[in-house]
Structure 1
Amino acid sequence: MRIQALATAAVLALTAAACSEQKSAPAAAETPAPVLTGRAAVYAAGEKDADAFVRALYARVSEPKDTPDPAEATITPGRDPLYSRTMNALIGVDDREAKRKKTAPRLDYDPICACQDAEAFALKSVTLTPESPQAATAEVVFANAGQDHRQTLKLLKEGPMWRIADVIDDKGKSLHDDLMAIAEKAPG
């Protein structure tokens, strides 16, 4: 009798657990994950891996600009989550020096597309070379306004996210080095 009572109790417990588990688990088709666009997509990709980060950077350039990206409005020079701490510091100095001299900053364009405006933009290839768990180099080929462009992105993983540490154009000119030259001449 005791064994029968224990068996009945076990069956009732398993049935109750199955029923409660079934009620609390939402159906997979009920809530599709939102599709991320703009900077939100880049931030999410930056936490995934370096290749996904680079591809998301260039996908963002090719997105239609029909509606403003809310994350874009909060970005000020020197405080952009897409760039490393060092690059942000250099961008900030460039901006302050331009204001002080009442001139345009050196960085007055989007370094990802090497342009003011993207037109018929398409990423053609990305060749990623890991240098360490926290650093990588991406050789990128893209088309903008009917012309092919090549550039190299130096990437660093700071915290949970990959970031741009330098952009080197097809002539070997480093944005980091250009901005560093401005910072070295700036008054202390």
Structure 2
Amino acid sequence: MRPLLLLLCLIFSACVLAQTPPLSPEQTVRQLYQAYGQDSASPPPYFGNIGEKAIISTRMQNAVALNHQLTLRGDANWPDSDPLCECQDYENLVLESVAIKPVDETHVNAVVRFRPFADSDERVTQTLMLVAENDRWLIDDIRGKYGGVYQNINRANQSMLAKLASLQKAQPEDFVYALFNHLNDYSWPWTWAVSQQYRQAVEEYYQASFYSREEWAAQKGILARTATRPWPWSWTRPFAREYRLAVNSDNQQAFVRPDRLTEEMSVDRFYLYNNPICHCVESQLNDVEAIHIVEQYDNFARIEVLFSLKDAASVEHKEQQLMLRRVDNRWEIEDFIDPESGSLLKQMQAITRQRIWGE
């Protein structure tokens, strides 16, 4: 009996050892902050990475991913600074100390103190809460002077989900009225009023549009200016913001030469940045004049909306139809049908194919 018990103990010990990450918590933390130092050959890791490049736990990845989905393309999502250095900028960060405090077999807290700028006396102290997952120590939370990162991002997510839930109504025409009635508050992304298929089309259009603008970004100096900046200053993010300013500018020639991109930028403004619920910039909405049910059965509804838009000089009367479907007791928009040009979804998909494959 004793030999069998000894064998079981050895097997159990081997399993425990096999689950221990090869890098210790302190080695993991020092490796993370080394990327911010003067001698680093590579930029710091992106906080929102997933898979093999992830530095955050599954729980944190899920929270970051949801926040990303709840944010319109080109808008700043949460957090708007790098949680690891609690900063938007740094220069030759100096890690002064790392104190490891075990919690249990798979959790430890790492209290770190560092100077974001080597030539400054300003110091930051925060706690990295690490969890052992997938043979690595990953960040499950960061506690600093602004509270916990996970708590803050989860609070932002839940607030947005509650706002979206408040727009849902039992009847499809009431849901459409709520969408139009809340366009001007800017507190919710229209991408969460549409179906997964439509969101995917927006994502594909965005990728086809912005990655094809890399040459333009380099010409504007964006890549060079952000190459050494920490997350979230990867080139796609400031590029999206600057490009958004460009496509929404009344003077696009201030951003690009007259013979470059002006026409495509106008198209991007329509499909990416103009809210398709009204085919407009939200502040242009003047009035909802009428809402009619054209067709309705089971979990499907086709709603016609008559509304008006205004600018400094005039009021324009518009009409469009929204194709709705109820999924999991929630109304979502499958497509927008313009009386003259037809399906917005099909138009957007056609432009995406043309930009990727030249079809």
Aligned AA (2:37): S
- Gap change, CA 1:95 and 1:125, over 3 Å in 2: same
The secondary structure found in structure 1 opposite 2:112 is strand
Runs of 4+ in 1 over 3 A off after TM superposition: 63-69, 75-78
2:97 corresponds in structure 1 to 125
Shift of 1:152: 0.6
Q: Aligned equivalents of 1:111 and 1:120: distance in 2? A: 17
Give the % identical residues: 24
Q: Does 2:126 correspond to 1:151?
A: yes
Task: Give the count of matched residue pairs.
Answer: 137
Q: Which has the higher contact order (CA 8 A, sep 6+)?
A: 1
Aligned ranges 1:20-39 → 2 under 5 Å: none
Shift of 1:111: 1.1
- Gap change, CA 1:48 and 1:66, over 3 Å in 2: closer
The match for 1:59 among 10, 34, 37 is 34
Shift of 1:183: 2.4
CA displacement 1:84-124 (0-9 Å, x = unmatched): 00101111112122227x63111222211112222131001
Q: Aligned equivalents of 1:126 and 1:76: distance in 2? A: 20
Is contact 1:128–1:137 with CA below 8 Å preserved after alignment?
A: yes
Which segments of 5 or more consecutive residues in structure 1 lack a partner in the other structure?
Answer: 1-45
Q: Aligned equivalents of 2:109 and 2:42: distance in 1? A: 32
The match for 1:83 among 31, 56, 69 is 56
Shift of 1:68: 6.1
Is contact 2:35–2:42 with CA below 8 Å preserved after alignment?
A: no
Is contact 1:78–1:90 with CA below 8 Å preserved after alignment?
A: no
Is contact 1:87–1:165 with CA below 8 Å preserved after alignment?
A: yes
Shift of 1:76: 8.6
Shift of 1:61: 1.5
What TM-score, normalized to structure 1? 0.64
Aligned ranges 1:1-188 → 2 under 5 Å: 47-64=22-39, 77=48, 79=50, 81-99=54-72, 103-145=75-117, 146=120, 147-169=122-144, 171=145, 173-185=147-159, 186=161, 187=164
CA displacement 1:39-95 (0-9 Å, x = unmatched): xxxxxxx631111101111111115566668xx6xx694625100001011111121
Aligned AA (2:23): K
Aligned AA (1:60): A
Aligned AA (2:59): T
The secondary structure found in structure 1 opposite 2:147 is coil
Shift of 1:153: 0.5
Aligned AA (1:137): N
2:179 corresponds in structure 1 to none
2:331 corresponds in structure 1 to none
- Gap change, CA 1:67 and 1:57, over 3 Å in 2: closer
Is contact 1:78–1:91 with CA below 8 Å preserved after alignment?
A: no
- Gap change, CA 1:78 and 1:97, over 3 Å in 2: farther
Which segments of 5 or more consecutive residues in structure 2 lack a partner in the other structure?
Answer: 1-20, 166-359
The secondary structure found in structure 2 opposite 1:105 is coil
Aligned AA (1:86): R
Q: Aligned equivalents of 1:68 and 1:144: distance in 2? A: 15
What value does the CA root-mean-square deviation take over the aligned residues?
A: 2.5
Is contact 1:77–1:95 with CA below 8 Å preserved after alignment?
A: no
- Gap change, CA 1:179 and 1:56, over 3 Å in 2: same
Higher mean Cα deviation, 57-66 or 149-158?
Answer: 57-66
Shift of 1:131: 0.8
2:314 corresponds in structure 1 to none
